[in-house]
Amino acid sequence: MKTKLKNLVILFSFSFVLLAACTDVDETVYDRYTTDDFYGSAEGSDVALAGVYAQVSGNWNGVGYAGADMGWYDLNSMSADEQVIPHRTDGNWSIEFARIYKHEWLPTDTMIDNTWNWLYKSIFNANLAVSLLETSNADPSKIAEAKVLRAFFYYLLIDDFGDVPFYTENNITVDQIPQKSREEVYNFIVTELTQNVENLSATKGGNYYGRFNKWAGYTLLAKVYLNAEVYTGIPKWSECLAACQKVSEGGFSLHPGGVNAASPLGYHFYELFGDTNPEDETILSMFATANVVSRNVYGIRSLYGVHALSLIGFSGWNGTIVPRDFFEKFDDNDIRKKQFLFGDQGGGVNYTLDVASLDNPGAAPLAGIRGLKFYPAGTMDGGGASNDFPIYRYADVLLMMAECNVHLGDAGVAKQYVDMTRQRAGLNALSGNPSLDDIYDERGFELNWEGHRRQDMIRFGKFLLPKTLKSGTSPEFRKLYPIPTSALNANAGLVQNPGY
């Protein structure tokens, strides 16, 4: 399966060269007919979509959903409470990671610039795909797929930046793109999704592993509704619940969590984060094959060099740590706590629970708990591993349904969904009905390091509060990132977010 998927991703990565070339055609009836006929075919439709999916996987320099350093994933994970890369007293690692964690980021920071540029390049590619497919009268499911992908990128944009430049056709220069309010773009996203999700393929796995099918589309719609109150001031709990219930029609279930001696971390649960994501629970995956398409750096990036060498045969980067307060919230019986390493690892490596400093002077080389949720798998070397990345999982959908039901006054119904993820993790069912705080904590236990935490913390009113190695409450404006200085320089019509 992985070989087939790898070949498909290679097609997605390289076919955009063909896609770009095919848009530069002579203005003759014959050539135009040939181009339209090509993109209207099944193979041509996939080529049109290829350049968009290549942006999801991405690669270095902050390109991709969760591919490597200094991009969207780091910006949205390290501003939360679940992980951070400290500057080390041996001189390693930029202080930008610590600045993001401490909510001291600047409009000129690389992570912010990379995220903005990645999302707008992705939107450009999605606009192009929509145009080619509509002009060619392609299969409606392929047109819908391009539009849902575009909505996905706009959703990530408004989540991070609020009011953003908005365009759906590529016949406009950067300096002329109008800035739309967060609410206006939210309404566009909802309209695009509600009009197109039913047209997506219902196929699971195979050629649709890693693509937006109907079930991934409804999960995205649920995510948008889940955060509607943050974006517009108006909650949409009933709408979110209805979208989650549509996902449930897709036949998903929780992957087994029990003991598995073959797993490096000892449990079937961790198969969810391996070379290929299991299709019983995974709704949408991001491909990663080291040195081919993207790469997954998250395990290798956390481990100390010689310790990584002893475990996986390659030196680690000695970067990411887990703040002690976040780690200590886990029950000792929770199998999800097995992903964290601390204390004596042998060979003179002893990871300390406490970290004295993130940036001034920084952390000692062995300071901090390490994270191995993505235990390096598949093809790997010192530059990363081939673990695919779960963008959406059914466990997330269950916890969204729990959250919606509590907001709608049905905490008794919510309990079953929380208990399902708890019991899979080896814990007892809740003794009573869940509170919103119970659900917030469970989301942290279940979904940490998967790119959801900043969004969750904002929605639950926790993001601005003090946390390990960050004293004091952050100002309200830190719920949004600034528009990058480079973007303001390119488009004089943009208005910077308040506080920057």
Domain match, 173 and 317 both:
no
Confidence class of residue 37 from pLDDT cuts 50, 70 and 90? confident
- Residue 322 has which token pair? 């887990």
Residue 209 has pLDDT above 90, yes or no: yes
Domain match, 41 and 141 both:
yes
Q: For the residues 47-54, what does the mean pLDDT come to? A: 96
End position of a domain, from candidates 362, 387, 412:
387
Q: Residue 363, SS3? A: strand
- Residue 373 has which token pair? 């949720």
Confidence class of residue 36 from pLDDT cuts 50, 70 and 90? confident
End position of a domain, from candidates 352, 387, 422:
387
Do residues 133 and 142 lie in contact, with contact meaning Cβ atoms separated by under 8 Å? yes
Domain match, 170 and 307 both:
no
Residue 60 domain-assigned (yes or no)? yes
233-278 pLDDT tens trace: 999 999 999 999 999 999 999 999 999 999 999 999 999 999 999 9
Domain match, 25 and 145 both:
yes
160-201 pLDDT tens trace: 999 999 999 999 999 999 999 999 999 999 999 999 999 999
Residue 137 domain-assigned (yes or no)? yes
- In angstroms, the Cα distances linking 272 to 280, 448, 450 are 10, 13, 11
Domain match, 355 and 484 both:
no
pLDDT of residue 34: 63
Strands 282-286 and 349-351 turn out to be unpaired
- Residue 150 has which token pair? 């575009």
Residue 198 domain-assigned (yes or no)? no
Residue 57 domain-assigned (yes or no)? yes
Residue 209 domain-assigned (yes or no)? no
pLDDT of residue 54: 96
Over the range 68-90, which residues count as b (16 or more CB within 10 Å of their CB) and which as e?
A: bbbbbbbbbbbbbbbbbbbbbee
Domain match, 168 and 30 both:
yes
Q: For the residues 135-156, what does the mean pLDDT come to? A: 98
R_g (Cα) of the chain, nearest Å: 22
pLDDT of residue 1: 45
End position of a domain, from candidates 337, 371, 387:
387
Q: For the residues 72-85, what does the mean pLDDT come to? A: 98
Q: Which of 388, 208, 153 is nearest to 293 (CA)?
A: 388
Residue 344 domain-assigned (yes or no)? yes
Cβ atoms within 10 Å of 179's Cβ, excluding its own: 16
What is the count of structural domains for the chain? 2
Kindly give, in sequence order, each residue whose CB lies less than 8 Å from that of residue 245, ignoring residues fewer than 6 positions away: 401
Domain match, 46 and 174 both:
yes
Domain match, 479 and 380 both:
no
pLDDT of residue 247: 98
pTM above 0.85, yes or no: yes
444-469 pLDDT tens trace: 999 999 999 999 999 999 999 999 99
Q: For the residues 101-109, what does the mean pLDDT come to? A: 98
Q: For the residues 365-373, what does the mean pLDDT come to? A: 98
Domain range holding 336? 288-387
pLDDT of residue 18: 37
Residue 109 DSSP class? -
Confidence class of residue 12 from pLDDT cuts 50, 70 and 90? very low
- Residue 449 has which token pair? 């390091």
pLDDT of residue 25: 34
Residue 2 has pLDDT above 60, yes or no: no
Maximum CA extent, the chain: 72
Residue 448 domain-assigned (yes or no)? no
**Long-range interactions of 88-92: CB distance < 8 A, separation 24+:** 88/318, 88/362, 88/363, 88/364, 88/365, 89/361, 89/362, 89/363, 89/364, 89/365, 90/365, 92/318, 92/319, 92/365
Residue 5 has pLDDT above 90, yes or no: no
Of the candidate ranges 58-67, 120-129, 319-328, 430-439, the one whose mean pLDDT is the lowest: 58-67
Domain match, 361 and 482 both:
no
- The CATH number assigned to the domain holding 76 equals 1.25.40.390
Residue 480 domain-assigned (yes or no)? yes
Do residues 281 and 394 lie in contact, with contact meaning Cβ atoms separated by under 8 Å? yes
